[in-house]
Structure 1
Amino acid sequence: MRQEGSLAFRTTLRNKMRKYPDRNDSRFRNDLILPSINPSFGIARDSAVFTIGSCFAREVEDALLTAGVRVPTAHFAAPHDEAPGRPNRILNQYNPGTMLQCVLAAGQAVDERALYPASDDGMVLDSLLATGNRPVSRERALERRGQINTLYRDGLAESDTVVITLGLIEAWYDWEAELYLNEVPPRPMLDRFGARFEFRRMGLEECRDIMERMVNALTADRKRHIVLTVSPVPLQVTFAGGDAVVANAYSKALLRVLAEQIAEDHASVDYFPSYEIVTTAGLRAFGEDNVHVRPVVVQQIVSHMLEHYLEA
């Protein structure tokens, strides 16, 4: 961004939110700073919203359902032994590459790429999904992929808005399958076929190309709005070397820059600062593991978003 000096100064004087808020500021509430939001569109209460991304996307679903908005992804359910704790957690996608793959696979026939043998009895691991390394039969794995492809096809068809929560930039890539993976491939596969698999700390150019393709795919068939956000949940394990705390800071910084660029370049995309809100509270926003955001904080963040986006 560049702007002529006197114009920049006059514009700044008109901006009532130009100063970082102190504790007397209306933006400071319950130990959180809630930045002002200026949506470019609204979400009708009788519309549908499709969510894509990491576990924070599941929290958004809960708040939308409470507000009476239809959320196709919230009703997907895998059996308890495949998705303990939350029936649709298997939909979690963490890096931009696998998110794009899900969008492009909507309604398509399934194949066996990135299904890896878990044992000699025919059980497999599906590294495209958030399975937690829980093996299933090959038949079930293909059935489940088909169900998710159908969910994306039908759910996107009825949704006017898509919420995308970017999670991290560390990813694994299968050169033979030509696919980004959502989970680390099984260790025996890595040991046996090392050259087939590649760890990637994705760069800004790679991520931007993927996000451009995703936005274009989501808006090709109809006018559809996108809310882009960065998950506040930190990277739990790094494969890039060094300390996970430092790796996480780099990951979130790159995704934040990516989100800003995509929102600036596409009129259909808004950025919502969920990551920034959580960081203002420090570790008080997290549970004992310093990873998962406390439910009360998540509720405040999502409520803040819906206050601005949900139409009366």
Structure 2
Amino acid sequence: MKKHPYSRLPAHAYWRHAVAEVAPDEIDPVVDPPFRVGARDRIVTAGSCFAQHIGRHLAASGCNYLVTEKAHPFLTEGAAHALNYGVYSARYGNVYTSRQLLQLFERAYGRFTPKENYWVERAGVVVDPFRPQIQEGGFNSQRELELDRDGHFAAVREAFETLDAFIFTLGLTEAWRSREDKAVFPLCPGVAGGDYAPARHEFVNFGVDDVVADLTAFIAALAAVNPGARVILTVSPVPLVATAERRHVTVSTMASKSILRVACDILERHFSHVAYFPSYEIVAGGYGGLDYFGPDRRSVTPEGVAHVMRVFDRRFIKRNLVEEALRRTAQALTPVKPGAPDDAVAEAMRVMCDEEALELGATPTAATEEDEPGAEQLQGRSEG
């Protein structure tokens, strides 16, 4: 037979060897990552809801998961979690878009102060527009919010300046922002605080160029304060809760995830210290014939999360023999309660997702071509 470029490729290059003939829960799409992270390296996470699974696994598996914003010692574990301490490395809540991440960095370092910096609700309750669900019941005063935000920004700076690896899970391209200064909110105003006003707020759907530009600027800013920082990008497999585009939510989901995936590919090719991890492909690809989505077709099952983290640990975490032995011993000694009720599993897998608030009280309507996204529609049509 004649020789050609496809004659002698490694097994991972052929669908039959890499997918069709591999056990479904052992499909591993990672090939030669540009770097690995030591178990003792300081790892920081941020991003959409799915990023919480990554942080939780890192902490449970003995990695040095860095948390710089800790709860006061008098808070119980449950109270601290309710106030979103330890959900991420700092108490920034879900960071859904590349622009939101870049602006978080700029705000933490005093380079950008949004004009719409507070939302004053009834009875004087104050809500942080950029962390609208971080504090149950809001803050008692603007001063209380300012003090909390100052401490939060200090924790964000510490995280960026001391981390060895930063894992960012990209979730969305759709967002709502201020018309005045382009400050991007994690949720549309009016959903979990504030008041939506068409004269002050606008919808935006970021494209590939926008995401690449945002993350390029963030990567440069991070390198300026932490020259040795490495970055791992991944795309959340979780579909949008709702879309503000005039199309079906499944179409918006595919468009959004495709934009994010292409942007990650461009960035990984350009930066030697940036890697891509295929969370999206493992869960949403469906190539192995396994269904990793729950009954709502959005939530990722424990089996899906376990598959993702198995691959991540195998390919990206570098352990010495002692660390690996300790990790395996800890897993073996972890008690398993037979017959655990489904709600216990659900609680263990629970994540804090701001965008789920979009469906609360929403009443879907039959939109017409002339409809504009008005205040009455926002809780049913926005980012997911």
TM-score of the superposed pair, with normalisation by structure 2? 0.70
Tell me which moved more, 71-80 or 97-106: 71-80
Q: Which residue of 1 aligns with 2:60?
A: 66
Query: Which string of whole-angstrom CA distances, capped at 9 and with x for unpartnered residues, describes residues 103-152 of structure 1?
Result: 22335499674344342432233221251795333233323322321221
2:13 counterpart of 1:18: yes
Q: Which residue of 1 aligns with 2:126?
A: 124
Displacement of 1:25 after TM fit? Answer: 2.6
* Contact 2:166/2:232 (8 A) holds in 1: yes
What value does the CA root-mean-square deviation take over the aligned residues? 3.0
Instruction: Specify which structure has the higher proportion of strand.
Output: 1
Displacement of 1:299 after TM fit? Answer: 2.0
Letter in 1 for 2:180: E
Cα 1:74/1:61, change in 2 over 3 Å? farther
**Matched residue SS, 1:171:** strand
Q: Which residue of 1 aligns with 2:350?
A: none
Q: How does 1:177-192 map to 2 (within 5 A)?
A: 177-186=181-190, 189-191=195-197
- Could you tell me the percent identity over the aligned residues? 25
Q: Which residue of 2 aligns with 1:48?
A: 42
Cα 1:17/1:126, change in 2 over 3 Å? same
Q: Which residue of 2 aligns with 1:214?
A: 218
- For residues 271 and 149 of structure 1, the distance between their equivalents in structure 2, rounded to whole angstroms, comes to 27
Letter in 2 for 1:162: F
Tell me which moved more, 38-47 or 83-92: 83-92
Displacement of 1:157 after TM fit? Answer: 2.0
* Contact 1:50/1:161 (8 A) holds in 2: yes
Displacement of 1:180 after TM fit? Answer: 1.1
- For residues 79 and 99 of structure 2, the distance between their equivalents in structure 1, rounded to whole angstroms, comes to 27
Q: How does 1:109-258 map to 2 (within 5 A)?
A: 113-129=115-131, 131=133, 135-137=138-140, 138-186=142-190, 189-191=195-197, 194-221=198-225, 222-258=227-263
Displacement of 1:85 after TM fit? Answer: 8.6
- For residues 132 and 171 of structure 2, the distance between their equivalents in structure 1, rounded to whole angstroms, comes to 13
* Contact 1:110/1:142 (8 A) holds in 2: no
* Contact 2:44/2:66 (8 A) holds in 1: yes
Q: Which residue of 1 aligns with 2:273?
A: 268
Q: How does 1:73-84 map to 2 (within 5 A)?
A: 73=67, 76-77=70-71, 84=82
* Contact 2:68/2:159 (8 A) holds in 1: no
Cα 1:76/1:169, change in 2 over 3 Å? farther
**Which consecutive unaligned segments of at least 5 residues does structure 2 have?**
320-384
Displacement of 1:270 after TM fit? Answer: 0.6
Number of matched pairs: 302
Displacement of 1:10 after TM fit? Answer: 2.7
Query: Which string of whole-angstrom CA distances, capped at 9 and with x for unpartnered residues, describes residues 235-290 of structure 1?
Result: 11101122111111100011000110011111110111100000133782112221
2:31 counterpart of 1:37: yes
Query: Which string of whole-angstrom CA distances, capped at 9 and with x for unpartnered residues, describes residues 283-311 of structure 1?
Result: 82112221111123112201211111111
- For residues 299 and 244 of structure 1, the distance between their equivalents in structure 2, rounded to whole angstroms, comes to 27
**Matched residue SS, 1:226:** strand
- For residues 173 and 16 of structure 1, the distance between their equivalents in structure 2, rounded to whole angstroms, comes to 46
TM-score of the superposed pair, with normalisation by structure 1? 0.85
Displacement of 1:53 after TM fit? Answer: 0.6
* Contact 2:176/2:204 (8 A) holds in 1: yes
**Matched residue SS, 1:40:** coil
- For residues 160 and 209 of structure 1, the distance between their equivalents in structure 2, rounded to whole angstroms, comes to 23
Letter in 1 for 2:228: K
- For residues 287 and 140 of structure 1, the distance between their equivalents in structure 2, rounded to whole angstroms, comes to 39
Cα 1:130/1:44, change in 2 over 3 Å? farther
- For residues 50 and 12 of structure 1, the distance between their equivalents in structure 2, rounded to whole angstroms, comes to 42
2:318 counterpart of 1:311: yes
Tell me which moved more, 284-293 or 140-149: 140-149
**Matched residue SS, 2:50:** helix
**Matched residue SS, 1:121:** helix
Q: Which residue of 1 aligns with 2:103?
A: 101
Cα 1:112/1:202, change in 2 over 3 Å? closer
Displacement of 1:219 after TM fit? Answer: 1.7
- For residues 134 and 169 of structure 1, the distance between their equivalents in structure 2, rounded to whole angstroms, comes to 28
**Which consecutive unaligned segments of at least 5 residues does structure 1 have?**
1-5
Cα 1:266/1:284, change in 2 over 3 Å? same
Displacement of 1:45 after TM fit? Answer: 1.5
Equivalent of 1:293 in 276, 288, 300: 300
Displacement of 1:16 after TM fit? Answer: 2.0
**Matched residue SS, 1:14:** coil
Q: Which residue of 2 aligns with 1:3?
A: none
* Contact 1:228/1:270 (8 A) holds in 2: yes
